[in-house]
Amino acid sequence: MKERRGAPDGFFEAEAAGLAWLRDANGGPRVVGVHDVAPDRISLERVTETRPDAAAASAFGRALAVMHDAGAAAFGAPPDGWGGPVFIGSRRQPCDPAAAWGAFYAEQRVRPFLGPAVEAGNLSTADVEVVHHACDLIAAGAFDDDDRPARLHGDLWSGNVLWAQGAVVLIDPAAHGGHRETDLAMLALFGCPFLDRVLAAYDVEHALRPGWEDRVPLHQLNPLAVHAAGHGSAYGAALADAARRTLALV
């Protein structure tokens, strides 16, 4: 049971909708079950955790590719049956469907967090200009490709990847339609056991696009911006560095 008095409107309902949407991807990863949801709480299936292992990591990589390929109605689309927004940690993220990935990502997943990061003293005036410059490039379509909108977990750091009895169980999503490389970049940001196995198996199921490793900083702008808004100046510096590396791609 997770409880939060005074939770923002839709906080737990968005989580439940995201879990259901991810679970609907036939052949995707195991997703924690929801017993009950209310405006101030959510009751979830209990998961008994075990040690990570290579076989489970490979199975997870294949299943993650399948989940991504289940797709979404558009970039920025919320889970089916949910009107949005979704939440990453305690922060609200808009889910306004967009025709192109870059415009969605820059305007809905990076820029909303820059003002709070500056106000918190975690992002300097000079560095925020660098990030805005990167966002201008992204929004203009510099990194758009022909990948269709993927069904993303949206907050796929290692803390939301539970290892349980030879399988991975996903929890606490900020689910939406996005680019599949964003979930993979999030896995890499804070470390994931057997990540090389996860990525190798993913690549077999759905080949990664050439140059994907160079684009990891681009796809880490969202989580770094979120953390810069509330978790210290080290994340502001990391965000600016990722923005500079993004600009260097063109």
Instruction: State the pLDDT at residue 131.
Output: 99
Class of CATH domain 46-79+99-247: alpha beta
| Cα–Cα nearest to 180, from 202, 158, 150, 144 | 150
pTM: 0.96
Instruction: State the pLDDT at residue 154.
Output: 98
Domain boundaries, the chain: 46-79+99-247
The one catalytic residue in 127, 155, 172, 183 is 155
The single-letter DSSP state of residue 38 is: E
Instruction: State the pLDDT at residue 80.
Output: 96
Per-residue confidence in pLDDT tens, the chain, 250 aa: 798 888 898 999 999 999 999 999 999 999 999 999 999 999 999 999 999 999 999 999 999 999 999 999 999 999 999 998 999 998 999 999 999 999 999 999 999 999 999 999 999 999 999 999 999 999 999 999 999 999 999 999 999 999 998 899 999 999 999 999 999 999 999 999 999 999 999 999 999 999 999 999 999 999 999 999 999 999 999 999 999 999 999 9
Q: Which two tokens stand for residue 54?
A: 């290579």
The single-letter DSSP state of residue 75 is: B
Instruction: State the pLDDT at residue 166.
Output: 84
**Helical (H) or strand (E) element with 41:** strand 41-44
Beta carbons of 65 and 101 less than 8 angstroms apart: no
CA distance 215 to 46: 36
46 phi/psi in degrees, rounded to 5:
-80, 130
Instruction: State the pLDDT at residue 84.
Output: 81
Q: What is the DSSP code string of 92-122?
A: EE----BSSHHHHIIIIIIGGGHHHHHHTTS
Contacts of 210 (CB under 8 A, 6+ apart): none
Q: Does the active-site annotation cover 155? A: yes
